[in-house]
Amino acid sequence: MWSIYIFFFLGVVAAISHHAFYMSLDGTEAKQQLVMLRYGGVLSYVSKASFMASIVLSFRQQIWATFRRNLLSIDAIDSLFAVMEDPTAMLNLEVFKNAKVAMFLAIAVWLSPLLVILTPGTLTVEPRTLVNITSCSSVTTLNFTPEATWEWRNPPRIHDVIELSIAWYNTTSRNVEDPDFFDYFSAASQQVELSSRISAYLQKPVPRRNVALDICGSGWNCSYSIAFKGPGYKCSDQDIVNSPFTTSLLLPEGNASYIAHATVGDYAKPQIDCGEGGIPLQTPPYPERLGVFRTDPVLWIGYSSLKEGKTKPANLSEVIKADVFQSKIFSCRHYETNYEVSFNYSSQTQDTTVTKREFLKPIIDTTFIPGQDANDGTRDNTTAAPEANYIYPKDMEKYKLTAAYYSLGAQLRNHINGTMQFDDETGTITKTEATNTKLFNLETYLPVENLMSQLQSFYEDMILSLLSNPHFLVVAWAAGPANLSGEPKGGPMYECTKTRERNVFDYRARDLWLVYGTFILISFVSVVLGRMARSQNSGTFRNDRFSSIVGATRGPHLDHLDWRVDSKGDMPPEVGKAKIGYGLVISNTGVDHNLGEIFFKSE
């Protein structure tokens, strides 16, 4: 009897081991997949073999107990003994009627291979994203403060490469000691023009070369976010009463689909009649307002967009009739802005999202006064109020920082300035560079519908494109923005999130226990039944070895039958129908016999 318990116990242990083994693999990277599945197969085989052994042993107790309980025909007994090897033996109805428990156990044994088939499959492999919140090197951010102290006569160098300023300057004298000496803003640097132009045409921020590889490392995607203070355009459609033009110029009333006034009050170039290096031709003293930032041109944008669900008519004359256009005017002012930008590198492609922009204060806090000429000795006729907020070159740090912001703003303004008009004869008349940018929809040749937010984003693309050239002064380590980055190899570590797609083991414990649970239950029931059968067999543990069978058939009762077999080895069919029993037989009058042998009961 112990062997039944031991086999049952072994089966349960193997099932638990199988579960533990798969548990330990769950979620780990799928390496040596076949080997792991084979180990799982071995455990499920051990479990199956043990459960089967325990069930088979119980089955044998049941056979003998059945003989004791019931009288069975010899055919039925044949079937009972054969059922473990020959499933067709189950077709005998008499067995089902008289030996239900034994047949249940036989079916369980025949189903037990399912264990080996079903359980290893509960471990599968599926792609999953590994997320590691860690730190990455080479992450750069923007920091405009070094622009304030940049000195073109002695620019900072990193690894012997000159750090580039955003703004270029003219001077009033070659002699720095000269009392009338000062530097004044000339123009945006060529490098800024280049990166801005590329970003305008690329329609997204220009990434640094190999940036994804430097930051994420090969085989990884990664993302991080940076915060910095820079310039930004704050747009609003509120104060259109101050607009220099009205919607009467725009479709459907007028014939323009786009009008941008972005250069009104612009810094004049040249500021004064000058020679090489911007040194004025006239003698000192120079005009007081030479090189002064008076105002930052406000962007005035008017545009027409299609009403929802309408298509653009081919002819201007149809426009009014068809009522397809609506027009809108908005303005944008240049502000110092706090940004938060998240960078996402996925398959080596850079994707940026501005997650937060907080407008702090106007970069030059004055308002342009139209039609009022300054006539102050410079070539700049701009007047703005209040004059107290003008920014003078001698206020050097503030002036240079303003110059940097102003240079970037000028890049945007130059790209979007101009008009676009409809003409029946020539189609559209384009007088702006904006058509090459993401502000225009080239299908309809109209400005994009959400022009206001796209304009802000267009400017942010230009600003983020500064990161493409690590030799800009404004490019700094994200982990320590006080330090210029130079060529960003290595550098301090900055927090970032790395992700990687890889195959991991996925273990479905529920499915595994569904299968094992069923078999544990069946085996447990069979152990209990085996135990009960043993007590029915007067407490002896039976087997179905040849000797046991011969021993059981020694009694004289069977001699009443005609056991002569024919030439094929089959016994006469009447013999098969004869009913026999075994051991203790209870008759109506109480206990009749308690024989250790088979007896024969005639019909």
Ligand X SMILES: *[C@@H]1O[C@H](CO)[C@@H](O)[C@H](O)[C@H]1NC(C)=O
Instruction: Give Cα 259 distance to the centre of its chain.
Output: 41
| 3-state SS, residue 177 | coil
Stretch that binds ligand X, among 34-42, 118-126, 272-280, 452-460 (CB under 6 A): 272-280
Which residue in 178, 395, 397, 424 binds ligand X (CB under 6 A)? 424
User: Which of 305, 421 has the CB closer to ligand X?
Assistant: 421
Helix (H) or strand (E) holding 59: helix 33-69
Contact 430, 447 (CB under 8 A): no
Stretch that binds ligand X, among 14-22, 47-55, 344-352, 535-543 (CB under 6 A): 344-352
Q: Which residues of 192-231 are buried (b: 16+ CB within 10 A; e: fewer)?
A: beebbbebbeeebbbbbeebbebbbeeebbbbbbbebbbb
User: Which of 39, 220 has the CB closer to ligand X?
Assistant: 220
Which residue in 271, 382, 465, 537 binds ligand X (CB under 6 A)? 271
Query: What are 45's two structure tokens?
Result: 């085989």
Stretch that binds ligand X, among 76-84, 117-125, 257-265, 435-443 (CB under 6 A): 257-265
Q: Is residue 276 at the binding interface for ligand X, with CB under 6 A as the rule?
A: yes
Q: Is residue 347 at the binding interface for ligand X, with CB under 6 A as the rule?
A: yes
What's the rounded Cα separation, in Å, for the pair 195 and 455? 17
User: Which of 37, 187 has the CB closer to ligand X?
Assistant: 187
**Shortest Cβ contact with ligand X: which residue?**
480
Quick note: the x/- pattern for ligand X over 145-174, rule CB under 6 A, is -------------------------x----
Q: Is residue 254 at the binding interface for ligand X, with CB under 6 A as the rule?
A: yes
User: Which of 228, 599 has the CB closer to ligand X?
Assistant: 228
Residue appearing with tokens 């002699």? 175
Q: Is residue 27 at the binding interface for ligand X, with CB under 6 A as the rule?
A: no
Q: Is residue 373 at the binding interface for ligand X, with CB under 6 A as the rule?
A: yes
User: Which of 172, 456 has the CB closer to ligand X?
Assistant: 172
User: Which of 220, 390 has the CB closer to ligand X?
Assistant: 220
Stretch that binds ligand X, among 2-10, 62-70, 387-395, 421-429 (CB under 6 A): 421-429
Q: Is residue 88 at the binding interface for ligand X, with CB under 6 A as the rule?
A: no
Residue 598 bridge partners (DSSP): 582
Helices (H) and strands (E) in the chain, counts: 15, 23
Contact 329, 304 (CB under 8 A): no
Between helix 33-69 and helix 2-25 the angle, nearest 10°, is 160
Q: Is residue 270 at the binding interface for ligand X, with CB under 6 A as the rule?
A: yes
What's the rounded Cα separation, in Å, for the pair 267 and 186? 9
What's the rounded Cα separation, in Å, for the pair 140 and 477? 4
What's the rounded Cα separation, in Å, for the pair 428 and 316? 10
Q: Is residue 68 at the binding interface for ligand X, with CB under 6 A as the rule?
A: no
Residue appearing with tokens 């009913």? 579
In the complex, the smallest distance separating the C-beta of residue 479 from ligand X, rounded to whole angstroms, is 5
User: Which of 53, 222 has the CB closer to ligand X?
Assistant: 222
Instruction: Give Cα 413 distance to the centre of its chain.
Output: 37
Stretch that binds ligand X, among 77-85, 153-161, 218-226, 452-460 (CB under 6 A): 218-226
What's the rounded Cα separation, in Å, for the pair 199 and 192? 11
How many residues sit in the footprint of ligand X (CB under 6 A)?
Answer: 46
Which residue in 3, 24, 28, 132 binds ligand X (CB under 6 A)? 132
What's the rounded Cα separation, in Å, for the pair 235 and 112? 74
* DSSP letter (8 states) at residue 436: G
What's the rounded Cα separation, in Å, for the pair 40 and 7? 19
Residues of this chain that bind ligand X (CB under 6 A):
132, 134, 170, 186, 219-221, 223, 254-255, 259-261, 263, 269-271, 274, 276-278, 314-315, 344, 346-347, 351, 373, 375, 379, 381, 417-419, 421, 423-424, 429, 477, 479-480, 482-483, 492, 500-501
